[in-house]
Amino acid sequence: MSAEAFPSTPSNIPSFDVHPYQPDGGYSSLGSALCIVMALIAAAIMGFVTSWIGQHFYLIILFPIGVGVVVGFTLNFAIRLGKVRSPWLGGVAGLMGGALSTVMMLFFDYQRQLSQVAQVDPQVWDRVELFEKLGMDKQKPRDMEQAEWNEWKLLIKVRKVDTFLKYIDYAAEEGVSIGRGSSKGFNLGYYGTLIYYGVEMLIIGFVAFAIGRSAAAEPYCTACNQWKVSKQLSDFVVRADRVNEWLDAIRLGTPLPRKDFDVFNAEGARYVTTLYRCPACGNSNPVDVKVEEVTIGNKGQEQKAEKVFVTYPGEAEPVLEALMEEPTVVEPDAPPPPPPPAASAEQVE
Ligand SMILES: [Zn+2]
């Protein structure tokens, strides 16, 4: 079948019953449990990793985004495996992961402090205790060096931290410092630090939420209980003056041939059209068609924005495929391509 079978004269435009794409929202209890457990395991592991790296350096904002991406992609895997199509469930599992990873990072920080405390010579603790009993912990004794006094103060403080909640209180009192390199930087203070931990949870949670939500919204065949597979129908630059006409036609179920919208020499933006079909039942069940606008971000990365996402009846697939076929570049009236000798003459030049 070729694009010529559907000339763009109004009477011959193929027309299909379409409706906006909607995720079916289904999930099983096993699938949901898998998502939540895997998101939480990933969050706990990332909490451990950030706590460990955090001994050496810590990048605010960037670390939480990275953790969110790792939790999100783990969740994505669980969603595919557990066949969860409820975007809310996918999103909430991501949020839970976000909250847990920050808590776990602090928990592993606490565990490390406990093990450091355990390594201190018991005799030192005896002296710290005596120090406190004598009330000498309030003010620096005259004959003591400032550096030594700071150490004493730290030991006195650390000894009292014997629960996780007390550790969070201690960590907030120490405060998160924002600064580069070895400089101390600006300390957020007690409440600032607690707020920072909350913001961090939100960043991780939001990133994982967004990934989980979109993973669960992918097209699925409920008849065969499996995810649909995607197939790219077209990727071309649509002429700017006819973009809306082209998009509306796909949206309304009256798709038009690509050759009338390809830019040739005009201005336009790049659009990618993707079709989702069930590998088992093929055309006997509906297919989903997504059109995305592709732009280049300021860092040179490709950004895709969804413009159309509709469900077509299965029999539309071959028609869509034919309409989206790449048109032949040579126009009908154009002279035939130069014979080979001419090309070799060009090379000589
Ligand atoms: Zn199917």
CA distance 336 to 330: 8
The amino acid present at 137, given as its one-letter code, is: D
CB 83 within 8 A of CB 143: no
Q: What percent of the chain has pLDDT over 90?
A: 58
Interval 302-328: pLDDT, tens: 899 999 999 999 999 999 999 988 877
Q: Quickly state the pLDDT bin for 204 (edges 50, 70, 90).
A: very high
Q: Quickly state the pLDDT bin for 145 (edges 50, 70, 90).
A: confident
Say whether 164 sits in a helix, a strand or coil. helix
| Overall pTM > 0.75 | yes
Strand runs (DSSP E) across the chain, as ranges? 19-20, 177-178, 186-187, 220-221, 226-227, 229-239, 268-277, 287-296, 302-312
Q: What percent of the chain has pLDDT over 70?
A: 89
Query: From the CA of 279, how far away is ligand 1's center (Å)?
Result: 7
Q: What is the mean pLDDT of residues 172-180?
A: 79
Q: What is the mean pLDDT of residues 256-275?
A: 86
Residue 8 has pLDDT above 60, yes or no: no
Query: From the CA of 282, how far away is ligand 1's center (Å)?
Result: 7
Whole-number pLDDT of residue 151:
83
| CA-wise closest residue to 75 among 27, 33, 106 | 33
Q: Which residue has the higher pLDDT, 220 or 135?
A: 220
Query: From the CA of 35, how far away is ligand 1's center (Å)?
Result: 23
Query: From the CA of 32, how far away is ligand 1's center (Å)?
Result: 22
Query: From the CA of 287, how far away is ligand 1's center (Å)?
Result: 10
| CA-wise closest residue to 216 among 21, 26, 42, 19 | 26
Pairing of strands 268-277, 220-221: unpaired
Q: What is the mean pLDDT of residues 211-238?
A: 93
Average per-residue pLDDT for the chain: 86
Q: What is the mean pLDDT of residues 226-250?
A: 92
Q: Quickly state the pLDDT bin for 156 (edges 50, 70, 90).
A: confident
Query: From the CA of 220, how far away is ligand 1's center (Å)?
Result: 8
Query: From the CA of 26, how far away is ligand 1's center (Å)?
Result: 15
Residue 140 has pLDDT above 80, yes or no: no
Interval 90-126: pLDDT, tens: 999 999 998 899 999 999 999 999 999 889 888 888 8
Query: From the CA of 228, how far away is ligand 1's center (Å)?
Result: 8
CB 194 within 8 A of CB 244: no
Query: From the CA of 145, how far away is ligand 1's center (Å)?
Result: 77
> Measured on CA atoms in the order 74, 76, 77, 82, is the torsion positive or negative?
positive
Query: From the CA of 205, how far away is ligand 1's center (Å)?
Result: 33
